[in-house]
Homo-oligomer: A and B are copies of this chain.
């Protein structure tokens, strides 16, 4: 039986979910791939009950430069040191799988170039839309298309807030407080509500769909913090819902893009995407419209996407 040894950087929510899937579904993954996949090293300061203590280290090099490790799962979050760790792992000949949209968006070109130079795989399905397998589809099953447009609801916090404002006729500030109390929004919600997280994800979608890198900071970005109950009522009167949309269109060979609240007609498939759900709606010149829908966050949905990427490396062994 072939083996694929995994090193995990950061055993938090997503890293922990990935670990749990690899343990719980080990048998079926082995049956489907013909490969035994095992976590052999974990970079984290905090050990986790139930996980073999000897796997843990607080020394990055013991994972990144470990000859036993074939593939690195990066789930630290944030641009640094995550980006440097991924580049270092690639230079040591290790495949890299990550859920980290901020790092992928900020360091995209260097990460792709370094992966190619070192002949390793660099996969990041989990970085956009959590468990929804949209990036894999763009790069494989849909790759016969010239892509024309993408519209994405790719942030669960803002979609939850907008859904509650719509359903309850409530104002932004009240719903945000409630979302924070329920754990759907962070204490400092800026990255979510101002569209920064969505801009990172749109940068990644544009890179894959249009083979063009536009830095997240160069994407015109408006969040939802200025949306009022009146705005939502006015949209409803026109038969529309307000959604925070990651939007990119190919116009005369140029990519036109924005992150902004948009009025989506009730008849559009994206209008029915409620609460914390995500969806990505893509138009290709051959396939026409396709939409991918599911949970855009959470330990197990996001871990499912990471494990999918690990499986695709395993199948190539």
Residues of chain A touching chain B, judged by Cβ–Cβ distance below 8 Å, are: 17, 21-22, 25, 28-29, 32-33, 125, 131-133, 136-137, 140-146, 269, 272, 284-295, 298, 300-301, 303-305, 307-312, 315
Contacts and interface: CB of A to CB of B under 8 A. Distances in A.
Contacts of A132: 290
Contacts of A21: 144, 286
Nearest to A28: B146
Contacts of A298: 288
Given A25-B144, A29-B144, A146-B28, A131 B288 contact: yes
Contact of A286 (B143, B144, B307): B307
Nearest to A135: B141
Contact of A305 (B136, B141, B294): B141
A270 to B, nearest CB: 10
Nearest to A273: B269
Among A28, A143, A300, the one with the most B-chain Cβ atoms within 10 Å of its Cβ is: A143
A57 to B, nearest CB: 25
A286 B141 contact: no
Contacts of A133: 137, 140-142, 290
Central interface residue in A140, A141, A298, A310, by most chain B CB within 10 Å: A141
Contacts of A272: 269, 272
A32 B309 CA distance: 19
Given A140-B136, A142-B308, A287 B292 contact: no
A290 B287 contact: no
Contact of A311 (B143, B285, B288): B143
29 contacts: A22-B144, A25-B145, A25-B285, A125-B141, A131-B288, A133-B140, A133-B141, A133-B142, A136-B140, A137-B137, A140-B308, A140-B312, A140-B315, A141-B305, A141-B308, A143-B307, A143-B311, A144-B304, A144-B310, A145-B304, A287-B301, A287-B304, A288-B294, A288-B301, A290-B294, A290-B295, A291-B291, A291-B293, A293-B293
Contact of A304 (B32, B286, B295): B286
| 6 closest Cβ pairs, A-B complex | A144-B307, A133-B141, A290-B294, A141-B308, A287-B304, A131-B287
A11 B291 CA distance: 29
A312 B144 CA distance: 10
A314 to B, nearest CB: 9
A310 B143 CA distance: 10
